[in-house]
């Protein structure tokens, strides 16, 4: 019988991060789809990125594509260093 993974006790803090509106909508919808909090989803994405690993399966990437269509998100990774706020 497999053992449950050891839980790691952490301290979370509240943050006031600003983000592009449509990106946030897709993230919130994905968190809902995965039955996660937005914070848990973001932590998972970041921890995978810090290890140089892809955070999503093919199935999840397909769902992200669907959500991007729903929320009219036309940005991709190539836009990440070119974003600026409206005046």
Identify the band that residue 26 occupies on the pLDDT scale cut at 50, 70 and 90. Answer: very high
Domain definitions of the chain by residue range: 21-73
Residue with tokens 């594509």: 65
pTM: 0.88
Q: How much is the pLDDT for 16?
A: 92
* pLDDT tens sequence across 41-83: 999 999 999 999 999 999 999 999 999 999 999 999 999 999 9
Identify the band that residue 5 occupies on the pLDDT scale cut at 50, 70 and 90. Answer: confident
């Amino acid at each position: 019988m497999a053992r449950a993974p050891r839980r790691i006790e952490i301290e979370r803090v509240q943050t006031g991060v600003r983000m592009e509106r449509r990106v946030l909508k897709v993230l919130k919808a994905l968190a809902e789809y995965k039955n996660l909090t937005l914070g848990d989803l973001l932590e998972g994405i970041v921890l995978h990125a810090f290890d140089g690993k892809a955070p999503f399966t093919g199935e999840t990437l397909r769902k992200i594509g669907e959500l991007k269509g729903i929320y009219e998100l036309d940005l991709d990774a190539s836009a990440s260093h070119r974003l600026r706020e409206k005046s």
